[in-house]
């Protein structure tokens, strides 16, 4: 019985502090790296990706990272997207607006059927030139993100049936 108690003591008092130290090191690593501007994790998703996005944000913690969601959801899902994601995220969720400055520890939802670019860590939102052009809104944003933020960018495509996002991911990878 004494050996069992010692093992539990070791696990509780050694492993738990190690996990706390590890989490602190990860946090300070991202704070150190992103002193000027945060990393941006851009997530592209089509109409079937809402559940995956919710699952992704179930595990987010504050790491001085910004998240940007580019989507092809229906208007019904778009209107309640902030409320839906806020239930799953531990960080602030809000809609991106034109000229809005990107901040760390925020999830930004880009407007549907619009072309969004990012320059100097600010969103620039415009209506698409044609309906055909709006089908490639993920590629458009990923490309602008690769140009603006270079190595401080992570691109993710969670769902989709078309090719929107593929060319943009290649640009992010090549920067």
Task: Select which of 137, 139, 140, 164 is catalytic.
Answer: 164
Dihedral class, residue 164 (left if φ above 0, else alpha if ψ from -120 to 50, else beta): beta
**Rg, C-alpha atoms of the chain:** 19
Annotated catalytic, 139?
Answer: no
Task: Select which of 72, 89, 140, 144 is catalytic.
Answer: 72
Q: Give 75's contacts (C-beta < 8 A, 6+ positions apart).
A: 112
Per the CB < 8 A criterion, the answer to whether 168 and 154 are in contact is no
C-alpha dihedral over 94, 119, 50, 168, to 10 degrees? -170
Where in the sequence numbering do the catalytic residues fall? 46, 72, 164
């Amino acid at each position: 019985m004494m050996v069992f108690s010692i093992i539990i003591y070791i696990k509780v008092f050694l492993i738990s502090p190690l996990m706390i130290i590890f989490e602190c090191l990860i946090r300070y690593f991202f704070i150190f790296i992103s002193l000027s501007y945060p990393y941006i994790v851009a997530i592209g998703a089509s109409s079937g990706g809402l559940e995956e996005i919710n699952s992704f944000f179930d595990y987010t913690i504050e790491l001085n990272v910004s998240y940007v969601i580019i989507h092809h959801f229906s208007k019904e899902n778009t209107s309640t997207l902030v409320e839906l994601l806020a239930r799953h995220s531990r960080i602030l969720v809000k809609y991106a607006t034109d000229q809005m400055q990107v901040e760390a520890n925020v999830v930004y939802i880009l407007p549907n059927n619009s072309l969004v670019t990012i320059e100097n860590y600010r969103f620039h939102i415009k209506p698409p030139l044609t309906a055909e052009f709006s089908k490639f809104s993920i590629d458009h944003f990923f490309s602008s993100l690769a140009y603006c933020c270079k190595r401080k960018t992570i691109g993710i495509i969670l769902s989709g049936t078309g090719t929107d996002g593929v060319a943009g991911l290649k640009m992010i990878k090549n920067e």
